[in-house]
Amino acid sequence: MDPVPFESAVWRVTKKGRDPIRGSAANGRWSPGATVEVLYTSLEREGALAEIGFRLSLEPVWPSRLESEIHEIGIRTARTLQFIDVSGLAPFGVDVSRYESFDYTATQGLAAAAHFMEFDGLLIPSARHKSQNLVIFMDRDAATSLKTIRTEIVDWSRWRAGR
């Protein structure tokens, strides 16, 4: 697959006070085996909220003292691997019927292959919202283009009431 350039604003939710352009090597859907630092973002504000809101909803009690911020971040990539929809992942071993599950084996393998082939990130469908996510490999040149545009406090009570 040919790489595509991408330039736009993306969204990310973090705990209050965390650097919004700091990546993580934690085990995740598109983290290549927890060996490469990645930055998860969404092309839509609501998509970023849905990703974190889903995780918070798994707690036995919604964390009432949690303070979060949502950040609009500018990014420019040159070599992004793009998948328009979930069905496009099937030829690469992703069981699309289980895409929303916590089985990350195939997606992590795909991310590792993309990183090895020197892509700077992945433009992929969100598992939690009808939007696209951009996952950036933080050891690639695209990471140097990250700029925080603005930051707002997340009102989780209002967000939950609107769902």
CATH number at residue 46: 3.90.228
| The two structure tokens encoding residue 80 | 């992004």
d(CA 33, CA 47): 24
Q: Domain total for the chain?
A: 1
Residue 63, pLDDT score: 85
Residue in 52, 19, 38 with CA at minimum distance from that of residue 151 = 19
Residue in 14, 2, 20 with CA at minimum distance from that of residue 143 = 20
d(CA 57, CA 60): 8
Q: Which domain holds residue 129?
A: 4-161
Beta strands in the chain (DSSP E): 4-15, 38-42, 68-82, 121-125, 132-137, 147-153
d(CA 115, CA 109): 10
Averaged pLDDT, groups of 10, the chain, 163 residues long: 95 96 91 87 97 91 90 97 95 93 92 95 95 96 95 94 85
The sign of the torsion formed by the CA atoms of 113, 20, 41, 73 equals negative
Residue in 135, 32, 38 with CA at minimum distance from that of residue 83 = 135
Other Cβ atoms within 10 Å of 91 Cβ, number: 7
Residue 35, pLDDT score: 82
